[in-house]
Chain A
Amino acid sequence: MAREIMYRDALREAIDEEMERDSTVFIIGEGIAERGGSYKVTEGLLSKYGPKRVRDTPIAEAGMIGVGVGAAIAGARPIVEILYIDFAMLGMDMIVNQAAKFRLMTGGDGRVPFVMRTQGGTGGGVAAQHSQSLEALFYHIPGLKVVMPSTPADAKGLLKYALRQPDPVMFLEHKHLYMTKGLVPDGEHVIEFGKGDIKRPGKDVTLIAWSNMIPRTLEAAERLAAEGIDAEVIDPRTLVPLDKDMILGSVAKTNRAVIVQEAVRRGGVASDIASIIQEEAFYQLDAPIEIVAGLNIPIPFNLELEKASVPQVDDIVLAVRRTLHSKPLAQAAE
């Protein structure tokens, strides 16, 4: 059986269940204890687990991320909540130079089961320093796992798995998703990393998206269905490790691919996925791969400009039409 709950409640269930299961799981962050967090993810955890395992921190991101990494190295299972992904930039040394490299630098002996939970993306006028989608920065660094759940069920299952596996995890939530609802299975619900999910099966074109671009891409798929276009929507759920098999299997079936990301176009994960598809499935493509991405610009405050800066449903629909109306490569060559 399943219950319909909000994304933020699913996250709380995951933390709660894992804290119950493993006494070394603890959580630190700004305003997460008594206040329960800006998005109410940690509400109630202080009264259940006490101030030893649920702690507020000063505003000191480099320090708190570093302390989380150190605690993980020493055998605990920290969750460090960073209010905005933009603020994680203050702790990049600890993520990039310490957490990601420790396993290699110790010849495999040292592991860093560190989970950084944070949220990104545009959220209706919070401007340039509170709206970024920065997954590509972490995707680029060997040694980090990058998780971007789009639904309550995925959020819960992936966070539970994050707290059981041995490597540093960048668990990237989206500020627009916290109050969205979805069905979450009852009982133990754990989702292994590297397993994508087909959010909508289809046969004409493969749409690959993650995080808040999933609801938008599903909406685009419904509009395309009205035009007779049957789109398959794939959510990799974890960008590292990436479920290449699922992506390539879908492209082999549809022969067309559109990748949608909220992050800026330049140097993005979409470009890397496009490169993987062209390298491994070039002869199965009937059209050039399309990327729908954010503009190469910081996010403006003005709401219309914010909307213009990141992909909207219309942008996805247009990209799919272009893909379908372009001639198959074999014909074009003739």
Chain B
Amino acid sequence: MAAQAQKANAPSRELLEKLFRTAYKIRVFESEGIKLYRQGLIRGYFHPYLGQEGIATGVCAALQEGDFIASTHRGHGHCIAWGADVKRMVAELLQKETGYCRGYGGSMHIADIRAGNLGANGIVGAGTPLGVGAALANQIKGNDAVTVTFSTDGASNNGTFLESLNLAAIWNLSYVLVVENNQYAVSTRIEESTRDVDLYKRGLAIGVESHQVDGNDSLAVYHLMQDAVEKCRRGEGPILIEAKTYRHMGHHVNDPGKYMPADTLAYYKERDPVDRARNALVEIVGLDQAEIEAIENEIKQEFEDAVEFSKASREITLAEFNEFVEAY
């Protein structure tokens, strides 16, 4: 009986494979994207999500079509987890007309408003009020959509963090504020930024149901998020989820991250979210090495195809730009 009950509660292969595929796709996108950056194919800023994949993966797996997300400046992972087309993402980074923003936005501004992705944001903390606004729009339209803002420990000390969450609270919005606590605001340690490093308490202080989770465990994030989404759809939002994590490198590709202590980095790399998602698939579902490799090769191929697609795409013309200037 006990074994049967355990089996009934065990996560499905479908779910675990979805989590691994998403986390691995983000890993490939960021690792290969950094190579393209080093080759000079990508310009501007590039803030990798390496090490944090478990959060976007777990959160987005609990959402459905019609929901909304707002992202951070470290936004590639959220887009991928949300189901973005890797071709159009790479094309955007390569400033091509086929990119999500036709080359007008770049890494920090990838958005797909038609799919409910309000976009990454170059201003730390800006996604919080924008996400609450989307939740308000959905409440006024009378649908049951849930809106998620991916926020950060860095953004949590910005005034709009409190202002927005408080508005969501007084209006009972279907809103989940996911605070990715990677413990650094660019290079400043969280201990230097705030007295109490448990950021979920910020929500409790204003009467918002709040939780803390290991952000490197995509399955745990998923379960918590699934519960939060159900509550929101029942009108019991908003909810705050603090997900603890750690970057695998500096703030952006040109930041060596020397301020990150080696032992802490090693600690988190041992708890790598992609490895954990892969291990779950092996240990719980019993996938063998060949099956794992098949999934990984498929994802790597998708990225390579996206690079070829992007290289072959054209850039926006000055004539098209001038039309935009006239209309703006």
Asked whether A110 is an interface residue with its Cβ less than 8 Å from the other chain, the reply is yes
Range class of the B interface residue count: 35 or more
Bound complex: CA of A26 vs CA of B163, how far in Å? 19
Which residues 48-103 in A have Cβ within 8 Å of B in the complex?
52-53, 55, 57-58, 60, 62-76, 78, 93-94, 97-98, 102-103
Stretch of B105-113, B242-250, B274-282 contacting A (4+ beta carbons < 8 Å): B105-113
Distance (Å) between the CB of B117 and the closest chain A CB?
Answer: 10
Q: Which residues of A contact B137 (CB under 8 A)?
A: 24, 70-72, 74-76, 78
Bound complex: CA of A264 vs CA of B101, how far in Å? 38
Asked whether A107 is an interface residue with its Cβ less than 8 Å from the other chain, the reply is yes
Asked whether B129 is an interface residue with its Cβ less than 8 Å from the other chain, the reply is yes
Q: List 25 A-B contacts (CB under 8 A).
A: A58-B163, A60-B166, A64-B163, A66-B129, A66-B130, A66-B160, A67-B129, A67-B130, A67-B132, A67-B136, A69-B129, A70-B70, A71-B134, A71-B136, A74-B133, A74-B134, A97-B123, A98-B126, A105-B101, A105-B104, A106-B100, A107-B104, A108-B104, A109-B101, A142-B328
Question: Which residues of B line the A interface, CB within 8 A?
Answer: 68, 70, 99-105, 109, 111-114, 118-119, 121-123, 126, 128-134, 136-141, 147, 159-160, 162-164, 166-167, 170-171, 324, 328
Asked whether A143 is an interface residue with its Cβ less than 8 Å from the other chain, the reply is yes
Q: Which residues of B contact A179 (CB under 8 A)?
A: none
Bound complex: CA of A75 vs CA of B137, how far in Å? 7
A-B pairs, 4 with minimum CB distance: A70-B133, A66-B129, A63-B163, A107-B102
Cβ 8 A contact of B129, one of A53, A58, A63, A106:
A63
Bound complex: CA of A93 vs CA of B123, how far in Å? 8
Bound complex: CA of A183 vs CA of B104, how far in Å? 46
Q: Which residues of B contact A73 (CB under 8 A)?
A: 113, 118, 130, 133-134
Bound complex: CA of A103 vs CA of B102, how far in Å? 12
Which residues 96-140 in A have Cβ within 8 Å of B in the complex?
97-98, 102-110
Contact indicator B133/A104 (Cβ below 8 Å): no
Q: Which residues of B contact A142 (CB under 8 A)?
A: 328
Contact indicator A97/B122 (Cβ below 8 Å): yes
Chain A's closest residue to B134 (CB) is: A74
Q: Which residues of A contact B162 (CB under 8 A)?
A: 63
Q: Which residues of B contact A62 (CB under 8 A)?
A: 129, 159-160, 163
Q: Which residues of B contact A75 (CB under 8 A)?
A: 137, 141
User: 18 additional contacts, CB 8 Å, given A106-B119, A107-B104?
Assistant: A52-B139, A52-B140, A63-B129, A63-B132, A63-B159, A66-B129, A66-B163, A67-B133, A69-B129, A70-B130, A70-B136, A71-B137, A72-B137, A74-B133, A75-B141, A93-B123, A94-B160, A109-B112
Q: Which residues of A contact B70 (CB under 8 A)?
A: 70
Bound complex: CA of A86 vs CA of B113, how far in Å? 32
Bound complex: CA of A62 vs CA of B158, how far in Å? 11
Distance (Å) between the CB of B305 and the closest chain A CB?
Answer: 22
Bound complex: CA of A74 vs CA of B116, how far in Å? 8
Contact indicator A106/B133 (Cβ below 8 Å): no
Cβ 8 A contact of A58, one of B101, B138, B159, B166:
B166
Contact indicator B136/A76 (Cβ below 8 Å): yes
Bound complex: CA of A143 vs CA of B324, how far in Å? 11
Bound complex: CA of A18 vs CA of B101, how far in Å? 32
Q: Which residues of A contact B112 (CB under 8 A)?
A: 109
Contact indicator B130/A69 (Cβ below 8 Å): yes
Cβ 8 A contact of B133, one of A57, A71, A97:
A71
Contact indicator A26/B328 (Cβ below 8 Å): no
Distance (Å) between the CB of B67 and the closest chain A CB?
Answer: 11
Which residues 1-54 in A have Cβ within 8 Å of B in the complex?
23-24, 26, 52-53
Contact with B along A299-315 (1 / 0, CB 8 A): 00000000000000000
Contact indicator A106/B109 (Cβ below 8 Å): yes
Cβ 8 A contact of B167, one of A64, A74, A93, A109:
A64
Q: Which residues of A contact B163 (CB under 8 A)?
A: 58, 60, 62-64, 66
Chain B's closest residue to A57 (CB) is: B167
Chain B's closest residue to A94 (CB) is: B129
Q: Which residues of A contact B102 (CB under 8 A)?
A: 107-108
Distance (Å) between the CB of A154 and the closest chain B CB?
Answer: 24
Cβ 8 A contact of A105, one of B105, B128, B129:
B105
Contact indicator A70/B134 (Cβ below 8 Å): yes
Cβ 8 A contact of B113, one of A52, A78, A110:
A110
Bound complex: CA of A143 vs CA of B162, how far in Å? 28
Distance (Å) between the CB of A72 and the closest chain B CB?
Answer: 7
Contact indicator A97/B126 (Cβ below 8 Å): yes
Bound complex: CA of A159 vs CA of B307, how far in Å? 47
Contact indicator A104/B167 (Cβ below 8 Å): no
Contact indicator A74/B166 (Cβ below 8 Å): no
Q: Which residues of A contact B105 (CB under 8 A)?
A: 105-107
Chain B's closest residue to A103 (CB) is: B328
Q: Which residues of A contact B109 (CB under 8 A)?
A: 105-106
Q: Which residues of B contact A66 (CB under 8 A)?
A: 126, 128-130, 132-133, 160, 163-164
Q: Which residues of B contact A65 (CB under 8 A)?
A: 129
Q: Which residues of A contact B139 (CB under 8 A)?
A: 52
Q: Which residues of B contact A76 (CB under 8 A)?
A: 136-137, 140-141
Distance (Å) between the CB of B191 and the closest chain A CB?
Answer: 26
Q: Which residues of B contact A102 (CB under 8 A)?
A: 119
Q: Which residues of A contact B166 (CB under 8 A)?
A: 58, 60, 63
Distance (Å) between the CB of A298 and the closest chain B CB?
Answer: 24
Q: Which residues of A contact B324 (CB under 8 A)?
A: 104, 108
Q: Which residues of A contact B129 (CB under 8 A)?
A: 62-63, 65-67, 69-70, 94
Distance (Å) between the CB of B310 and the closest chain A CB?
Answer: 15
Q: Which residues of B contact A74 (CB under 8 A)?
A: 68, 118, 133-134, 137-138, 147
Distance (Å) between the CB of A5 and the closest chain B CB?
Answer: 29
Q: Which residues of B contact A58 (CB under 8 A)?
A: 163, 166-167, 170
